[in-house]
Amino acid sequence: MSTTTLFLFRNDLRLQDNTALSAAIKTGQPIVLLYVFDDTDAHWPLGSASRWWLHHSLQSLVSSIHALGGSLILRRGNTRDILREIICSANVDKLFFSRMYEPFQCQLEEGIYQDWHDQIEVKRYGGYLLFEPEQIRTGQGDPYKVFTPFWKSCLTQTEPSVSRNSQLKQKSFYPDKLDSDKLESWGLLPTQPDWSTGFSRWQPGEKGAMHCFTRFLKSGIQNYDEDRDRPDRDGTSSLSPHLHFGEIAPARIWRDVKQAISNKKVKQSQAMCFLRELGWRDFSNHLLYHWSDLPNKAFRPEYQSFPWKRNQKALLAWQKGYTGYPIVDAGMRQLWQSGWMHNRVRMIVASFLVKHLLIHWRDGEEWFWDTLLDADLANNSASWQWVAGSGADAAPYFRIFNPILQGKKFDPDGDYVRHWVPELLKLPTKYIHEPWLADESSLAKAGIALGQDYPEPIVEHTTGRKRALAAFEAFKNG
């Protein structure tokens, strides 16, 4: 009986530029392609928005494989149990997969190796990051805790390479039928109600990722350094969910951006500003890999006992976008309606929650985890701790974003606010970020009764800032 190679898809839902899949194809053996939806682990189960993306990304991958004459086996359950069944039934002697960095995924990889390393060939490959966490070390051999020296070290490494796949062909696939779930049976899509209708701008899957990247490389990257901070402009790559689900390789992005620099199609300063953001993604995963409790505990231990407030009413107002601060509310509504939020606004709304309201960063982390299409455990936890002041290379506790000034600076004409907070659509620009200062005539012409059509601020800015500074100062000195 001939032997078989088993390829386990994880967060690498693509056929091209997939190092692990390329290695599986090069074995020359029939390949079983498998994806396991393993929700048996209680640690950070996939959020609602991410489940929507996963459904459509797998749907796209199934179609691409079917077009080549093959099939993707879908199973739901314990990964190790499912691997054991398929390895035995399909006479598998090689198991390949891409690595992941969440604590429970690292434990899974160790378990798979323990189960099978002395019976079959088990190999894992990189590809989710530009540089592996073990690769980037300080001069003393320790993991980095500060981004800038981390990034400088990255830039001294051999540049990330892209493994071009041998093409999957019909003869590449395992010929016998294996049981597979129907994707619809997993119930990943919201139904009662279907709150995902605003996600229609997205195109999950490998084709969607390449379309998004091509568009950005052609136009969006040209003024990236400035436009990336402007939520009123289409100045970001929007690649974050595609990257999280592995629909495009970061090494592919690196190569094509560097090529665009060489061909003088983009200024080096703009391109490197963008690649630096990929570096932050690597840095977050670097932190999570080396400090596995990052999502749950303060990175800086002294912050573990900070006296955060419990205020369910304020938390709900923040979640739904009814804080009375237009830039905050616009961001939270953009998140709820589209599954995404502009990065500059993410910092503003996060600062408002943990500083103005003194609500625990974990409450914000959990809300983002459930509502973001690009919810990534490393990025999410590292970013929330950065804003809270408890994380690695964190913003100091006294750095408190002023939501009024942030709105005026980065949404000067109020276009972003007007789009997501339509109650303020007709308000004059000079009041758009502080409607409580508008005179009665302006409010009447705009059809706004403060406290009815749009809320008064749930906390006055100066009061909230002073309270935060006092709380952090008392904590520091206590």
Q: Are residues 96 and 154 in the same domain?
A: no
Same domain, 85 and 154: no
As a whole number, the mean pLDDT across the chain is: 95
Tell whether 346 is covered by a domain.
Answer: yes
- The pLDDT of residue 165 is 65
Same domain flag for 142 and 211: yes
Q: For residue 276, what pLDDT is reported? A: 97
**Domain boundary pick from 225, 258, 290:** 290
Output the domain CATH number for residue 404: 1.10.579.10
Q: What is 390-449 written as a DSSP string?
A: -STTPPPTT----HHHHHHHHSTT-HHHHHH-GGGTTS-GGGTT-GGGS-HHHHHHHT--
Of residues 44 and 439, the one with the higher pLDDT is 439
Q: Which residues pair with 122 in a beta bridge?
A: 95
Q: How many domains does the chain have?
A: 3
> Could you tell me the CATH number of the domain that includes residue 275?
1.25.40.80
154 and 81 within one domain: no
Range of the domain at 241: 129-160+206-290
What is residue 1's predicted lDDT score, i.e. its pLDDT? 63
Q: How many Å apart are CA 117 and CA 95, to the nearest integer?
A: 10
Same domain, 47 and 99: yes
CATH number at residue 61: 3.40.50.620
The verdict on 226 and 240 lying in the same domain is: yes
pLDDT tens digit string along 387-407?
Answer: 999 999 876 777 899 999 999
Check residue 279 and report its DSSP letter. Answer: H
Domain shared by 238 and 363, yes or no: no
Asked if 344 and 437 sit in the same domain, the reply is yes
List residues with catalytic annotation: 277, 280, 308, 343, 361, 384
Q: What percent of the chain has pLDDT over 70?
A: 99
Q: Is the pLDDT of residue 326 over 70?
A: yes
- 441-to-37, 422, 427, 446 alpha-carbon distances in Å: 57, 19, 11, 9
Reported confidence tier of residue 478, pLDDT bands at 50, 70, 90: low
145 and 217 assigned to the same domain: yes
Task: Work out the average pLDDT over 345-359.
Answer: 98
pLDDT at residue 195, rounded to an integer: 87
Whole-prediction pTM = 0.96
The answer to whether position 173 is within a domain reads: no
Where is the domain boundary, 290, 314, 344?
Answer: 290
Predicted confidence at residue 205, as pLDDT, reads: 98
**Do both 395 and 468 map to the same domain?**
yes
**201 belongs to a structural domain:** no
Residue 267's H or E segment, with its range, is none
Specify the range with the lowest mean pLDDT, choosing from 38-52, 175-189, 281-295: 38-52
pLDDT in tens, 411-436: 999 999 999 999 999 999 999 999 99
Would you say residue 113 has pLDDT above 70? yes
Residue at which a domain ends, from 77, 105, 127: 127
Q: How far apart are CA 349 and CA 367, in angstroms?
A: 12
Question: Tens of pLDDT along 262-308?
Answer: 999 999 999 999 999 999 999 999 999 999 999 999 999 989 989 99
* Confidence label for 169 from pLDDT (cuts 50, 70 and 90): confident
pLDDT tens-digit readout, 118-148: 999 999 999 999 999 999 999 999 999 999 9
Domain assignment present for residue 26? The answer is: yes
Is 477 inside a domain boundary?
Answer: no
For 403-412, the pLDDT digits (tens) are 999 999 999 9
Residues 119 and 257 in one domain: no
> Would you call 194 helix, strand, or coil by DSSP?
coil
The verdict on residue 189 lying in a domain is no
Give the pLDDT confidence score for residue 203 in this predicted structure. 98
* 266 and 147 share one domain: yes
